[in-house]
Amino acid sequence: MEQRKVILSGVTPSGILTIGHLTGALTNWVKLQNEYDCYYMIADLHAITAKQTPAELRKRTLDTAAMFIASGIDPVNSTLFIQSHVPEHSQLTWVLNTFTGMGECSRMTQFKDKSRQHSENINVGLFTYPVLMAADILLYQADLVPVGEDQKQHLELTRNLAQRFNHNYSDTFKVPEPYIPEIGARIMSLQEPEKKMSKSDPIQGSIIFLTDTDEQIVGKIKRAVTDSGSEVIFDEENKPGVANLMTLYHIATGKSMSEIESEFAGKGYGDFKSQVGDSVAEFISPIRDRYNELIANKDELAKILISGGEKARHTALRTLRKVYKKVGFVQF
């Protein structure tokens, strides 16, 4: 039987996940687990490059794991784990640090951006963040890594480090390729439809969180910004508000844009928003209910994450032993 290719991806636990995370990442991850050997991690080591409140970080880590499962990640079919539960991530990072040039890290666009955002806390962890990311990927001998535009540079560094180590010591790491996922529907802010929906938006009414109640979802969509006129037509340039609500309706019902246009021909925005609100609430409801079950039963969630951590360590340790042997560390 042909061995399945390995995919690794992760999310930093920095806030409540939104419907944008569902369409942009999680829906794809659920599909990938049927074709690939998937490792999905909650990247809490990455999170502490910015200042965190410890109790909040712990809560968000478990919330993110619960939302992964609620969205359809199957912990039997995939390996779901918390990054800090696998010490090999930090151990391999130290070795890779000694193969990484200062210039390589200082050229990283994300380091420059985050240094501007957090000018009061430009720490060494922020500087070597891409080396930790390389360790994350190389530990699991990942063939493919789903990457967005902002991570392409980091994957390039990962490839360079794998090739450099292999050249110096013999083949040890797979050189990973980028996996360009299907582009999920782009969800825009409900209050400013020209910009992307973001979990850090100070206007809470512009975001649909996966933890929102049916009433909250319906209310937010009722208050969503629309455009002049009353026609329901998909025109992102001239009618961004309506186009965004049509996208949400398409996600919730699977109907095409032309079917949606026909359904609401001759009806006003009131009917349209009411239908979108009900459909999106119905779509998110089972995800939220499963999430609430998991959060209420921390023992079940802990079991899943302990088991995932053990599976991840089994693979990670195999890679780290090879690395330690090749660099000359004594192992008994």
The answer on 214 and 122 residing in a single domain is no
Could you list the residue range(s) of the whole structural domain that residue 121 is in? 6-184+298-327
Total of domains in the chain: 2
The question of whether 196 is a catalytic residue gets the answer yes
The answer on 174 and 222 residing in a single domain is no
The question of whether 311 is a catalytic residue gets the answer no
In a domain, 39, yes or no: yes
pLDDT-derived band at 184 (thresholds 50, 70, 90) equals low
Catalytic-labelled residue, pool 112, 195, 196, 222: 196
The answer on 28 and 63 residing in a single domain is yes
- Mean model confidence pLDDT for the chain: 91
Q: How far apart are CA 120 and CA 122, in angstroms?
A: 6
Q: Is the pLDDT of residue 111 over 70?
A: no
pLDDT at residue number 201: 80
The answer on 251 and 285 residing in a single domain is yes
Residue type, 71: S
The answer on 212 and 68 residing in a single domain is no
The answer on 309 and 262 residing in a single domain is no
Percent of the chain whose pLDDT exceeds 90: 69
pLDDT-derived band at 118 (thresholds 50, 70, 90) equals low
Helix (H) or strand (E) holding 96: helix 88-97
Nearest to 282 by CA among 214, 210, 222: 214
Which CATH number belongs to the domain containing residue 238 in this structure? 1.10.240.10
Catalytic-labelled residue, pool 31, 112, 199, 325: 199
Q: How far apart are CA 183 and CA 164, in angstroms?
A: 32
Residue type, 165: F
In a domain, 96, yes or no: yes
In a domain, 53, yes or no: yes
The answer on 267 and 152 residing in a single domain is no
The question of whether 239 is a catalytic residue gets the answer no
The answer on 310 and 256 residing in a single domain is no
- Residue 34 phi/psi, 5-degree rounding, is -85, -20
